[in-house]
Amino acid sequence: MTLRLQDVTKKFGSFTAVNQLSLEIPERQIFGFLGANGAGKTTTFRMILGLIDQTRGDISWNNGNIGYGESHLIGYLPEERGLYPKMKVKDQLVYLAKLRGMKKAEALKELEQWLERFKVPEYKNKKVEELSKGNQQKIQFISAVLHKPKLLILDEPFSGLDPVNVEMLKEAVVDLKEAGTSIVFSSHRMEHVEELCESLCILHHGSPVVHGKLKEIKKSFGKKNIRIHADFDLSFLKDASGVMKYKPLSNGCELQIEREEIAQSIFEKLQGKGFVRTFDLEEPTLNDIFIEKVGAAYE
C-alpha cells in the first residue's frame, strides 16, 4: 500500500500552488511533510484525498486512484479542526465512522477503547462544545483513526496540547505506524518531525526543496553545528573561515560551520586561550535545515 505522487502540479489560474511534486510513502512509515504557511501542504492533502484534481501528474495508492470507494481506508485530521459542536462525542464519532464504512457496534467498541486510552472516557456523552480545546483535539484525532485507516493524513495533530497529551498522542501515532499504516505527518514543530519521521519533504512555494530520508538529508546538508562553552571571549570566531553563523550564548557560543573539517581548525584556534568546558560537534537540526531552505525565520 504505497502512496506515490509523480510530478504533481496544481495551478489555480496563473498561481501555481504545487509544482512538480514527487513523493513515495511506503507502508508502515511516517512521512514528514513540511513547509511554511501557504506552501501548498493542504492543497497537496486535498489532491491526495481526491477532493480537488491535480492540473498535471499522477497520484496513486496501492497502484490505483484514491476515490470515495477507498474512503474507509483513509483517515484525515485536517489542520482546521471541525466537529459538530452540538453533538455528543459518542454520536459524533459513530456517525463519522459510519460514513467511513464502519458498523455501529464496532465503532462503539473502538471508541470506548480510544477514549480509555486518551483518559477521557467521561466525555462520551458530553457535547463537543463543552470540552476544552485540547480534549476536542483528542476527539478529532479519534475521529481520524477510529476506522483503522491504512493511509492517515495528520495535519498539525499536536497543536494545542500540553506535553503530557502530546506524548500520549505521539505514542498512538507510532503504534498506528507499527500496525502498518502509512502516515503523512505535517507539523511546524521540527522536534516532533525529527522524532517521528524517517523520511520527509520540505515544500517551499509549492516546490519540494528538500526530500529524502532524514539521516541523508542531514548528512548531505553538510553544515554542522558546534557548541562551545568556554571561560573566555569567543567573539573572534565570528570571522573565522568556514563559519557561517555565529550565535553568542550566555556562557559561550553556537557556530554553524560549512563542513565537518572546519571543526578541526576551530578546535585548534581555541588552543591556549583558556579553559574550554564543552566542545560539541552536532548534527544540524531540522530547524536549521528548514530555516536555511525556506529562508524565512521560524518561531
Partner 1 sequence: MNKFFIMMGHTYLNRVKSKSFVITTIIMILLITGLSNLQSIMETFGSEDKEKKVAVITENASWYQSLEQSLSTNEGITLEIYKGDLEEAKSEVEEGSYHSVVQIESGENNLPEATYYANQIANTGSSEPVRQALQQVKTQQVTQEADIESDTLQLISSPVSFELVALEKSAKTAEELNQTRGLVYIMLFFMYFAVIMYGQMISTEVATEKSSRVMEILISSVSPVSQMFAKILGIALVGLTQFSIFIIAGYLGIRSSLNNGNESLLNGLGLTDIQGSTVVYAVIFFLLGYLLFATLAATLGSLVSRLEDAQQMIAPMIMLVVAAFLIAMFGLGMPDSTFITISSYFPFFTPLIMFLRVGMLDIPLWEVGLSIGLLIVSIALLGWIGSRIYRGGVLLYGKSSSLKDLKTALQLSKKE
Which residues of this chain interact with partner 1, rule CB under 8 A?
Answer: 12-13, 46, 49, 51-53, 55, 68, 71-72, 74, 76, 78, 80-85, 87, 95-96, 98-101, 143-144
CB-nearer residue toward partner 1: 86 or 239: 86
Cβ of residue 253: shortest distance to partner 1, in angstroms?
45
CB-nearer residue toward partner 1: 184 or 228: 184
Cβ of residue 98: shortest distance to partner 1, in angstroms?
5
Cβ of residue 27: shortest distance to partner 1, in angstroms?
20
Cβ of residue 82: shortest distance to partner 1, in angstroms?
3
**SS3 per residue for the chain:** CCEEEEEEEEEECCEEEEEEEEEEECCCEEEEEEECCCCCHHHHHHHHCCCCCCCEEEEEECCECCCHHHHHHEEEECCCCCCCCCCEHHHHHHHHHHHCCCCHHHHHHHHHHHHHHCCCHHHCCCEHHHCCHHHHHHHHHHHHHCCCCCEEEEECCCCCCCHHHHHHHHHHHHHHHHCCCEEEEECCCHHHHHHHCCEEEEEECCEEEEEEEHHHHHHHHCCEEEEEEECCCCHHHHHCCCEEEEEEECCEEEEEECCCCHHHHHHHHCCCCCCEEEEEEECCCHHHHHHHHHCCCCC
CB-nearer residue toward partner 1: 146 or 253: 146
CB-nearer residue toward partner 1: 29 or 43: 43
Cβ of residue 87: shortest distance to partner 1, in angstroms?
8
CB-nearer residue toward partner 1: 13 or 272: 13
